[in-house]
């Protein structure tokens, strides 16, 4: 081979190598395919849909407050001006001049100093690679108390926290026609809250008030902030095939309950929050851990017992309006049910993966039927077990009546708005004869 031909072949080889390197670099470069913003009252989640697993770093700047994100090996800019509502925490999302070659710099202009958590998510379901930015306001005010006014401290409303499962970036299960679980749970939760707020002695508060994500571990904390007596978490079930159908009701498993007690014992700074005045009394004492464990055990026992009794009521009333997949309450290790001081249940309203039930769950009337069934269960439970100091306790708790001269069963029954049959049954009376000074138990009306 002569020198001329060798030179030509070497030059050609370098052209091919250069072309391959250019194309390899182009193929290796990442890009932003979309941006979604999920604002909530005290936090905002920003999700960047990206082509590949992102390489990133970030830092804060002040005067004005900014979060700066550097994305390495990114070549293409997504049009950030197309973003809609970015919430109250963010002014805008924009690009800035990158510090490194082949990179993008994204800037989040903030309305106040915030805390941030950034992490990458791998592809799952309908989602590809993502970079998630969670912004939280550590100085945000605690959630407001229920709007419904109470009469007095001894006649307060029973507060029921309603948790619409999933939300925001987390759609939950997706039905055959594309119906999101997060939409169904929120619609049913709103209907249940409206029904509860129309009832004398009851108030409802929503854990999430819009389409945004709330961490599972934070949901019971929000219920506690709202001074809830009960937490109901609304969900829709799903399976890998479309056959299963029907609702079910779940409570916390004993194993998870014991685990949670152990965790609470280690969080001494929260003993007062969880145990109220008792937490303040035992604080800094030599036997704090043992006393706290005893109180937490009692609190958890009461919570689980109440949850089970309520779950039985829910199964009974739901059975009247929909098919049940499980005819008895079930137990599981659900994080949303972990609070030892608030009775909590999780309600699966049906299988969204079943085409028939997906269609039912999307219908307004069926949602109302489910909400009304839950309301009836709550009312029935609290008429039998009203918390101390509530209007329900004043209205429905069994009372004692001492028979006075001239009183008969009919007179006493009329006074307390109960029937003579109810009065006799509550007191195991075999005749209508009464004696002066006799004590009678007055049943619920």
- Same domain flag for 409 and 380: no
pLDDT digits (tens, 9 = 90+) for 52-105: 999 999 999 999 999 999 999 998 778 998 887 888 899 999 999 998 888 999
CATH code for the domain of 299: 3.40.630.40
| Residue 169: C-alpha distances to residues 21, 37, 81 (Å) | 37, 9, 21
- Same domain flag for 193 and 334: yes
- Same domain flag for 109 and 162: no
Categorize the per-residue pLDDT at 352 as very low, low, confident or very high, splitting at 50, 70 and 90: very high
Task: Using the 3D structure, point to which of 363, 391, 419 is the last residue of a domain.
Answer: 391
Report yes or no on 9 lying in a domain.
no
pLDDT digits (tens, 9 = 90+) for 283-308: 444 444 444 445 445 555 667 788 89
Report yes or no on 75 lying in a domain.
yes
59: which residues sit within 8 A by CB, 6+ positions away?
67, 68
Q: Number of helices (H) and strands (E), helices first, in the chain?
A: 12, 17
Report yes or no on 350 lying in a domain.
yes
145: which residues sit within 8 A by CB, 6+ positions away?
226, 227
**Least confident residue range of 162-171, 370-379, 391-400:** 391-400
- Same domain flag for 338 and 430: no
- Residues 351 and 238 sit within 8 Å (Cβ to Cβ): yes
Please provide the DSSP assignment of 281-335 as one string.
HHTT-TTHHHHHHHHHHHHHHHHHHHHHHHHHHHHHHHTTTS-BS-SS-EEE--G
**Residue 19: predicted pLDDT:** 53
Report yes or no on 8 lying in a domain.
no
**Residue 281: predicted pLDDT:** 39
Helix (H) or strand (E) holding 400: strand 399-402
CB atoms within 10 A of CB 144: 10
pTM, rounded to two decimals = 0.72
- Same domain flag for 225 and 368: yes
Categorize the per-residue pLDDT at 411 as very low, low, confident or very high, splitting at 50, 70 and 90: confident
- Same domain flag for 201 and 334: yes
- Same domain flag for 207 and 352: yes
Q: Is the pLDDT of residue 280 over 50?
A: no
- Same domain flag for 381 and 403: no
Task: Using the 3D structure, point to which of 375, 391, 407 is the last residue of a domain.
Answer: 391
- Same domain flag for 207 and 284: yes
CATH code for the domain of 436: 3.10.350.10
pLDDT digits (tens, 9 = 90+) for 6-36: 555 555 555 554 554 444 444 558 999 999 9
Structural domain of 162: 155-391
Helix (H) or strand (E) holding 352: none
More confident residue, 156 or 217: 156
Q: In whole numbers, what is the pLDDT of the chain averaged over residues?
A: 82
- Same domain flag for 269 and 177: yes
Task: Using the 3D structure, point to which of 391, 411, 426 is the last residue of a domain.
Answer: 391
Report yes or no on 22 lying in a domain.
no
Domain count, the chain: 3
Report yes or no on 365 lying in a domain.
yes
Dihedral pair phi/psi, residue 249, rounded to 5°: -130, 135
Closest alpha carbon to 346 in 180, 172, 165, 151? 165
Report yes or no on 23 lying in a domain.
no
- By DSSP bridging, strand 344-351 and strand 230-237 are parallel
pLDDT digits (tens, 9 = 90+) for 96-149: 999 888 899 999 999 999 999 999 988 877 788 999 999 988 776 544 444 444
Report yes or no on 336 lying in a domain.
yes
Distance CA 19, CA 13 (A): 10
CATH code for the domain of 107: 2.60.40.3500
- Same domain flag for 196 and 227: yes
Distance CA 81, CA 78 (A): 9
User: What is the percentage of the chain residues whose pLDDT exceeds 70?
Assistant: 78
- Same domain flag for 61 and 87: yes
Place of tokens 């961490």: 215
């Amino acid at each position: 081979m002569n020198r001329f031909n060798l030179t030509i072949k070497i030059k050609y080889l370098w052209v091919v190598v250069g072309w391959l390197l250019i194309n390899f670099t182009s193929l290796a470069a990442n890009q932003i395919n979309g941006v979604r913003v999920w604002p909530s009252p005290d936090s905002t989640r920003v999700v960047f849909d990206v082509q590949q697993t992102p390489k990133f770093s970030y830092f804060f700047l002040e005067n004005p407050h900014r979060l700066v994100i550097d994305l390495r090996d990114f070549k293409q800019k997504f049009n950030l001006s197309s973003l809609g509502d970015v919430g109250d925490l963010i002014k805008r999302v924009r690009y800035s001049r990158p510090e490194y070659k082949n990179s993008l710099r994204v800037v989040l202009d903030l309305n106040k100093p915030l805390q941030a958590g950034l992490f990458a998510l791998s592809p799952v379901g309908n989602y590809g690679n993502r970079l998630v930015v969670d912004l939280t306001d550590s100085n945000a005010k605690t959630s407001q108390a229920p709007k419904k006014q109470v009469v007095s401290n001894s006649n307060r409303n029973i507060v029921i926290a309603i948790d619409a499962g999933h939300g925001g970036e987390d759609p939950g299960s997706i039905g055959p026609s594309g119906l999101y679980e997060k939409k169904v749970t929120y619609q049913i939760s709103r209907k249940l809250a409206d029904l509860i707020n129309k009832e004398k002695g009851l108030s409802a508060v929503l854990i999430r008030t819009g389409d945004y994500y709330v961490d599972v571990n934070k949901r019971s904390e929000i219920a506690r902030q709202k001074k809830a007596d009960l937490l109901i978490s609304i969900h829709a079930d799903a399976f890998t095939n479309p056959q299963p159908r029907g609702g079910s009701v779940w409570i916390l498993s004993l194993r998870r309950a014991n685990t949670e007690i152990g965790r609470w014992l280690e969080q001494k700074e929260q003993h007062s929050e969880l145990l109220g005045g008792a937490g303040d009394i035992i604080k800094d004492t030599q036997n704090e851990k043992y006393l706290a464990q005893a109180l937490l055990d009692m609190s958890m026992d009461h919570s689980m017992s109440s949850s089970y009794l309520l779950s039985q009521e829910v199964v009974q009333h739901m059975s009247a309006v929909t098919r049940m997949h499980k005819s008895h309450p079930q137990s599981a290790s659900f994080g949303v049910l972990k609070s030892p001081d608030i009775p909590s249940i999780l309600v699966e309203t049906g299988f969204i993966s079943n085409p028939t039930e997906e269609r039912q769950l999307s219908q307004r009337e069926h949602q109302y039927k489910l909400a009304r069934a839950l309301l009836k269960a709550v009312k029935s439970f609290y008429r039998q077990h009203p918390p101390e100091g509530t209007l329900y306790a004043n209205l429905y708790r069994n009372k004692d009546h001492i028979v006075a001269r001239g009183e008969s069963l009919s007179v006493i029954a009329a006074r307390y708005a109960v029937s003579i049959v109810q009065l006799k049954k509550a007191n195991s009376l075999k005749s209508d004869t009464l004696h002066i000074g006799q004590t009678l138990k007055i049943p619920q009306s």
